[in-house]
């Protein structure tokens, strides 16, 4: 999206709470990736329309997205997975400060190894993937089994800084990530079991609904 349009859209968004502003400042200071404002705004609107009873988030970081979802959906319970113990501890503190610890459950560990444990808290009406970009396809295949019949899967960063549209990417690591994300996008759009759309907000948001 054109940067000036993105800034304009961000300027229209309601002012966020002091806690969310504090988390945004920490994320910028410590270079913790959190969802871009226009993208999370769109995702939350989809979720309000969907009104999920339970959400699974893969990739907690400091708990920003989990708390934004909890704030927008006051009757929803959220399970969120984080591999980094330091980030998980930060998230737990923020969730406690927000008084949301009764609605948000953090599972600490590698999401590739937590399907059985996560299934005990499911099934889920929505799944949000925002973790290791190279593992998106595995996350989708492993956790889509826990989705309810009319459920949706939301995937962030699917345009990966625009590199997915570039013919050549000089940075070797970015080139590898872009290739994997392009493969994931093709996988989504060709999947027989889901209807998917990719929305060019933030770093790209994919929304996939079970057929």
Residue ranges per domain, the chain? 3-210
Mean pLDDT, residues 97-126 taken together: 97
Question: Hey, how many other C-beta atoms are within 10 angstroms of the C-beta on 62?
Answer: 27
Closest CA to 45 of 12, 73, 9: 73
Query: What was the pLDDT predicted at 143?
Result: 98
Binding residues: 35, 65, 82, 110-111, 130, 156-157
Contacts of 47 (CB under 8 A, 6+ apart): 55, 69, 72, 73, 76, 126, 154
Q: Is the pLDDT of residue 172 over 80?
A: no
Gap between the Cα atoms of 34 and 20, Å rounded: 11
Ranking 32-36, 74-78, 166-170 by mean pLDDT, the lowest is: 166-170
pLDDT in tens, 40-51: 999 999 999 999
DSSP string, 129-161: E-S-GGGHHHHHHHHGGGEEEEEEEEEE-TTGG
Gap between the Cα atoms of 83 and 60, Å rounded: 8
Q: Is the pLDDT of residue 171 over 80?
A: no
Binding residues for S-adenosyl-L-methionine: 35, 65, 82, 110-111, 130
Beta bridge partners of 80: 57, 106
Query: What was the pLDDT predicted at 68?
Result: 98
Query: What was the pLDDT predicted at 6?
Result: 83
| Average pLDDT of the residues of the chain | 94
Task: Identify the residue whose tokens are 């060019």.
Answer: 200
**Residue 15 buriedness (CB in 10 A; 0-12 / 13-18 / 19+):** exposed
3-state DSSP call for residue 82? strand
- Output phi, psi for 189, to 5 deg: -70, -25
Query: What was the pLDDT predicted at 161?
Result: 86
Mean pLDDT, residues 135-162 taken together: 96
First-last CA distance in the chain = 29
pTM: 0.94
Contacts of 210 (CB under 8 A, 6+ apart): 147, 149, 150, 151, 152, 193, 194
Q: Which CATH architecture has domain 3-210?
A: 3-Layer(aba) Sandwich (3.40)
3-state DSSP call for residue 205? strand
Q: Is the pLDDT of residue 163 over 70?
A: yes
Q: Is the pLDDT of residue 79 over 80?
A: yes
Mean pLDDT, residues 43-62 taken together: 98
Q: Is the pLDDT of residue 176 over 90?
A: no
Closest CA to 136 of 66, 86, 203, 72: 203
Query: What was the pLDDT predicted at 168?
Result: 80
Q: Is the pLDDT of residue 18 over 80?
A: yes
Packing angle of the helix pair 85-97, 64-72 (nearest 10 deg):
30
| 147-156 and 124-129 beta bridge pairing | parallel
Query: What was the pLDDT predicted at 1?
Result: 65
pLDDT in tens, 117-141: 999 999 999 999 999 999 999 999 9
Gap between the Cα atoms of 200 and 189, Å rounded: 15
């Amino acid at each position: 999206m054109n940067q000036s349009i993105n800034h304009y859209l961000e300027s229209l968004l309601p002012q966020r709470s002091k806690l969310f502003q504090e988390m945004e400042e920490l994320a910028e200071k410590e270079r913790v990736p959190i969802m871009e404002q226009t993208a999370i705004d769109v995702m939350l609107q989809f979720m309000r329309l969907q009104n999920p009873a339970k959400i699974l988030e893969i990739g907690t970081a400091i708990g920003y997205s989990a708390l934004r979802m909890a704030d927008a959906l006051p009757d929803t319970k959220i399970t969120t997975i984080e591999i980094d113990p330091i980030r998980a501890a930060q998230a737990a503190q923020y969730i406690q400060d927000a008084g949301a610890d009764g609605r948000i459950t953090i599972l600490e560990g590698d999401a590739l190894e937590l399907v059985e444990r996560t299934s005990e808290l499911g099934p889920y009406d929505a799944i949000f993937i925002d973790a290791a970009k190279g593992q998106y396809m595995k996350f989708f295949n492993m956790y889509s089994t826990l989705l309810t019949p009319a459920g949706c899967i939301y995937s962030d960063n699917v345009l990966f800084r625009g590199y997915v549209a570039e013919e050549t990417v000089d940075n070797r690591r970015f080139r590898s990530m872009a290739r994997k994300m392009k493969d994931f996008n093709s996988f989504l759009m060709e999947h027989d079991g889901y209807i998917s759309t990719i929305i060019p907000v933030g770093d790209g948001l994919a929304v996939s609904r079970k057929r």
